[in-house]
Every structure is written in C-alpha cells, then in structure tokens.
Amino acid sequence: MLDLIRKKQKTFIVKVVFWTIITAFIGTIFLVWGKGQEQNEQLTVAVKVGNIDISFDEFRIAHNNLYNLYKNLYGDTFTPENEKQLQLTRQAVDMLVDQALLLKKAAEMGIKVSKDELVSAIASVEVFQVDGTFDKKRYVEVLSYQRMTPQDFEQMQRHQMLVNRVRAQIQGQVQVTDADVVAEFRRIMEKINLAYVEFDPKNYLDAVVLDAAAVERYYGENKEQYRIPEQVALEYVEISAESVREQIDPTPEELERYYQRHLDEFSIEEQLQARHIQFKVAPDADAQTRQDKRAQALKVLAELNADNFATLAKRYSEDVESAAAGGDLGYFKRDTFGAAFENAAFALAIGEISGVVESNVGYHIIQATEHIQAGYKPLEQVRGQVVEGFIADQSIKLAYEKAIDAYNMNRKQGGIVTVAQQLGLSPLKTGLFARNETIGGIGTVPELGNQAFGVSEGNMLKPLKIRNKVVLAQVTERKPSYIPELEQVRADVENKVRLQQAVAMAEQQAGAAVQTLLQGGEIAAVAPSAAAVKETGLFARTLGGVVPGIGPHEELTQAAFSLSIEHPVAEQAYRQGNNFYVIKLKQLQAANPAELSQEESDAIEAEVRRSKQDAALQAVLDEKRQSVAVIIAPSILNTLKEE
C-alpha cells in the first residue's frame, strides 16, 4: 500500500516540476476553462479578465513555454498532431486567466509585495547572477534574449509573487484530521468482489428478424461509408536490369572509378587478435580482495613468456570460455571490452605481453597475437564485388535510358502497346486500384500511384525505377468515385443492421435484468442461457478504473465502489464496446485502520492535504469565475475552435 502512495507522490512531484517550469514567466497551475463573455469585443490584448489585460506577449510566452516543455518531454515523437491534441492554446489561456483571477483575490485579501521584496526575489534568480551575485548587465541580456523589458518582467514577477502568496494563504488554511486519514485509507484499501453477467449481442444475432425498411434506412443514412474511391488502371511494361546486363562491359578505368567512389563499402576496421588471463573481481569487492587478486596476477605474470602464455591461460584464467582456447579472444574491434582493456591491448606489439591491467571485471594479462590496421581492401582483392556492383549500377541506368527513350518517342502518339512492340516485351495490366492502394503486379509504390492519379486517361507516365527494374506505364482506365447501389453492398448492410438490432436486444435484456435484481431477484436467474455468472475476484480502486474480466471502465468502477451490502445492485447496465454488463456486489473486504503504520499514515496525510489544498484553490477560482467577465481576442478564439 505504501508503494501506491509513493507512486502518487511521485506523480505529484512530476506535476510540481512540470508547472514550475511552465510558470517561470506565467502564473498558475490550474487548467480550468473560464466562461467568456461578449467574445465579439474588439481587443488589443490577448485576454481581458475583468479589468486585467493580458498582453499578446504574455500569451506568446505562455504558449512557447508549454510548447518547449512538451517538445523536451516527447523529443522527436512530438508532432503537430500531438500539439493539436494537447490544446496548447487552451492550456496557455487557462493558466493566464487563473493567474488574473488569483491576482484579483490577492487584492481582495490585501496581499501586497513590497519593492524590496521584489528586488530581493529577482536578485536571487541564478540566471541573473555572475559568481553568485546579481549582475545587472546579465539581467538585461537575459531579458533581451526573451524579448522582454525589465519593466515588463518586474511586473510579471510581482504578479507571480502575489499569486504564490494568495495560493499559499488559501492552501495554508486547509486542515487534515485523523478521520480524514482513516477515510482515505479505507478508500484506497477497500476491496470488492463483483458478480456480473455479460449480455453479448452475438448471442442475439439469430433472433434478429431483418426488416427490409430498416436495411434501406440504414443504407440511406450511411451511404458515404460505402463510397468507392476514385480508381485507375494501368497497362505497363517492365525493363529489368537483368535483361540488359550483358550489354555492360566495364573498362579498367571504369572499375577503378567505381571502386574509388564506393570505398566505404570496402573499408576495414582496426582489429586485434589477443589472448588474456583473467582474474575476476566483483564490482563490490573490498580493498583486501582486490589486493589479493592483483598479487595473484603479478605472480602469474612473473612466470609468463611468449611460449607458455596459452598453457598458463588454460591453467590460471578465470574466463572459462577463453581459457579452454589458451586465452584466445579471437579478433575484436574497439568498443568491445571496455576502454581500459582495449587501450592496453591495442598498444601492444605482436607477441608482446602486457603488465597487469585493471578493468571493471577484474585484472588481466594480455598478449597481442595479430593486428589488422584500419584501411581499405585493395581493388584486386574485391574485384569480383566491384565488377558486380558496377554492372548492377549501370544495368539499371541503361534500362532507364531505354525506357525514357521509348517514353519520349511515344508519349504523344503510339502509347504503351507500341512501346512494348519496340522493346520486344509483352504489356501487363494492373487492374483498377485506388490512391495509396497496392498496385496489382507492381506493389505499393506511392510515387507511381501519385503519377497515375495526376494525369488523364490515355496519358503515359514517366519511367520509374522500382527496385531492379524500370516501369513505363499508361493510364488505360479511370473510374470516378461513386456510391454503390444497395444490392452491391447488401450483405454488409444487413450484417450491420443485424448487429445494431442485436445490440439493442442485449441492452434491453440487460436493463430488464437490472430491474429484476433491484426487486430482489437472483443474479443467476437473469443470466442469458449462453452466459454464466462470473466474478471479478477481490480488487481495489488501485487498479485505476480497470475491472477484472471486463476491462477499463471508469464509470462502472465508480458505481461498483458505491455499492454496499444493503444496496448491492448497480442501478443500470454498463456498456463496454457492444456488450452490456449487469453487476452485483458479492463481497466487501473493508480495510482495517489498525494495520495502518505511522509511515503509511504520514504519506496518506500528505496526499489528502494536497488534495484538499487543490480543492480549496479550485473553489476560489470557481467562485471568482462566476463574477468576472473573461473576453478573448478573436484571433485566439479562432485557434481554440480549430483545436
């Protein structure tokens, strides 16, 4: 249970950090939308809250801070779609409005910030300091970078201090009693077991009698979902690179040039072949253990020479795998065994033996046996690979040249049939396909599809390289988007109507079952013949709105935990997807406050206090919002409508 509370505390801490960052230049932490009035008023400010004006600069800073925060949180995965979903404009306006409302509350409460307090607060900001002391030049430079004058910043800082003080005063009045702690403990730890019956529409499908009028009505109301998109068909020829490769006869100069241009394909990384004798030391070993292992390594080192290294490695090395091979590690590159080991190993001459080398896994004695320097494989060594690469490269180019020549000769007259005859190929057909669909015989090639939908019927498309071939195509048919007649989609429409009516039957049966239970009936008696009464097993609120056996369902969870032994039946059926659930409390396992430790009690008290403080502050904001007009500039309102 304490882990749960700590998890909640961590969540709270994250929120505090989140909003602390955001409110570096803007106010408050609550995101509740105020009710605007007279929104058609022409404003020269972003938002007007009563007699408080919020400038477009303040709005820009608020919005930018939010954007940068989310950008830092999500990194490269932060997209314009995410930005829209997060409603950054709304969040920025909400925060600024709440700040203004708290400023009004501060004035009502007589809360003030003196000039000395303001100066002291600004001077304590680290970003304005040099060597720990406030520096006016740095202060002006930082504000200039933020496109802000000292006067504007000081006013905003004063407002922030006022907001902080009024918030602290409101929240400081909150009291948490022992009874509050016990009640929250009971709420968190209470467990319930539900008996439930599932009403699945699939079990009612056979009972549905299709009504022709209902089928026609459904089709009429949902025609658009059956719309067939615009389609085109192509006739095309393929010129493969393989078909022209025999025409490629590379010269020595061409091979040399290809080799030089593709040197990265023939690079050789530096590699070392070495043996080692390892003396393992655990990361948490004490100093004496380390000293003993090092002494053991030094003793073996004294016995070593170039001829007996493999023999002693088999005898002494604690690296079992390499020891069996005389300590041989094979060839390895840098960044394989760690810097300490590799710096010593790569510095050795062939046959040379190192001293005792310490790494993160213990001590080693290393002998270098072979060393391959970084460089490039010579042309003669990779000639076959170079010839093959050159021919493959030139073949596709030659295939494209043939295709572009045929395209230029026939795009105005002749067409794809003539092209096929000239090239000695047989024309192929794709069949109809829609934009972004797989093209029959060719595959998914967005560029080809875009070309096809951008020209009229009868037009040829520019040749396109697709893997190891070139495709030259002509649009032979174009079919505009249309809605099929009912008969063409009747089977699907009837299935949809049948399911729709089955869902209605399931809902009706579930509702009737609830009434029977409320009148004292047994849950087993209301279960459909195809369903059995199931149980969730004991579970707590800590599952976060998930009901075992049913799944995530916040509304059902809230209803379930409001049930009691006296009133065990939920007063409605709950829908999950197309299924309906009727629930009844079977077992209630109350929490025992006597099991509450002092540490848990303190953690719960802190959690309850935060919750009450948030509620107290929210109540003030709600009260102020009822009496203050909020007017938003039209340009911002338009953005809000788009979010």
Q: For 391-403, write each residue's pLDDT tens digit.
A: 999 999 999 999 9
Give the residue with greater pLDDT, 147 vs 51: 51
Domain boundary among 338, 373, 408: 373
Number of structural domains in the chain: 4
What does pTM read for this prediction?
A: 0.58
Q: Is residue 599 part of a domain?
A: no
Q: Look at residue 534 and give its three-state secondary structure.
A: strand
Per-residue pLDDT, 22: 38
List strand residue ranges (DSSP E) for 251-378, in order. 267-268, 271-280, 328-332, 357-359, 362-372, 375-376
Least confident of 187-191, 272-276, 638-642: 638-642
Q: What is the arithmetic mean of pLDDT over 39-43?
A: 46
Residues 149 and 214 in one domain: no
Q: Look at residue 439 and give its three-state secondary structure.
A: strand
Q: Is residue 608 part of a domain?
A: no
Q: What is the arithmetic mean of pLDDT over 108-119?
A: 94
Report DSSP letters for 551-611, one per residue.
EE-HHHHHHHTT--SSS-B-SS-EEETTEEEEEEEEEEE---GGG--HHHHHHHHHHHHHH
608 has a pLDDT exceeding 70? yes
Domain boundary among 455, 479, 503: 479
Q: What's the token pair of residue 497?
A: 């109507």
Q: Tens of pLDDT along 530-585?
A: 678 999 999 999 888 999 999 999 999 999 999 999 999 999 999 999 999 999 99
Residues 473 and 360 in one domain: no
CATH code where residue 293 lies = 3.10.50.40
19 has a pLDDT exceeding 80? no
Per-residue pLDDT, 392: 95
Domain that holds residue 565: 191-220+488-589
Paired sense of beta strands 271-280 and 267-268, if any: unpaired
Per-residue pLDDT, 43: 57
Q: Tens of pLDDT along 360-410?
A: 999 999 999 999 999 999 999 999 999 999 999 999 999 999 999 999 999
Q: Is residue 72 part of a domain?
A: yes
Residues 25 and 146 in one domain: yes
For the chain, what percent of residues have pLDDT higher than 70?
A: 93
Q: Is residue 48 part of a domain?
A: yes
Q: Is residue 246 part of a domain?
A: no
Residues 71 and 172 in one domain: yes
Q: Is residue 83 part of a domain?
A: yes
Contacts of 293 (CB under 8 A, 6+ apart): 279, 280, 281, 285, 362, 363
List strand residue ranges (DSSP E) for 118-256, in order. 129-130, 133-134, 191-199, 231-240
Q: Please choose, from the candidates 219, 198, 107, 206, the residue with its C-alpha nearest in 3D space to the C-alpha of residue 159.
A: 107
Q: What is the arithmetic mean of pLDDT over 589-612?
A: 92
Helix-helix angle 150-172:598-627, to 10 degrees? 120
d(CA 198, CA 203): 10
Q: Are 528 and 253 in contact (CB under 8 A)?
A: no
Q: What's the token pair of residue 300?
A: 């073996």
CATH code where residue 457 lies = 3.10.50
d(CA 99, CA 151): 19
Q: Please choose, from the candidates 195, 199, 191, the residue with its C-alpha nearest in 3D space to the C-alpha of residue 522.
A: 195
pLDDT tier at 639, thresholds 50, 70, 90: confident
Residues 80 and 22 in one domain: yes
pLDDT tier at 440, thresholds 50, 70, 90: very high
Residues 134 and 276 in one domain: no
Tokens 């109809």 -> residue? 432
Q: What's the token pair of residue 214?
A: 């209902």
Domain boundary among 479, 511, 546: 479
Residues 86 and 108 in one domain: yes
Question: Tell me, what DSSP letter sits at residue 33?
Answer: P
- Mean pLDDT taken over the chain: 89
Q: Is residue 276 part of a domain?
A: yes
Residues 196 and 172 in one domain: no
d(CA 416, CA 493): 41
Residues 330 and 403 in one domain: no
Residues 468 and 494 in one domain: no
Residues 460 and 496 in one domain: no
Q: Tens of pLDDT along 498-508?
A: 999 999 999 99
CA angle (47 as vertex; 89, 86 as ends), nearest 5: 10
Q: Please choose, from the candidates 572, 568, 527, 567, the residue with its C-alpha nearest in 3D space to the C-alpha of residue 553.
A: 572
Per-residue pLDDT, 643: 75
Residues 57 and 155 in one domain: yes
d(CA 178, CA 459): 83
Q: What is the arithmetic mean of pLDDT over 316-321?
A: 94
Q: Tens of pLDDT along 115-155?
A: 999 999 999 999 999 999 999 999 999 888 877 889 988 98
Q: Is residue 613 part of a domain?
A: no
Q: What is the arithmetic mean of pLDDT over 289-297?
A: 95
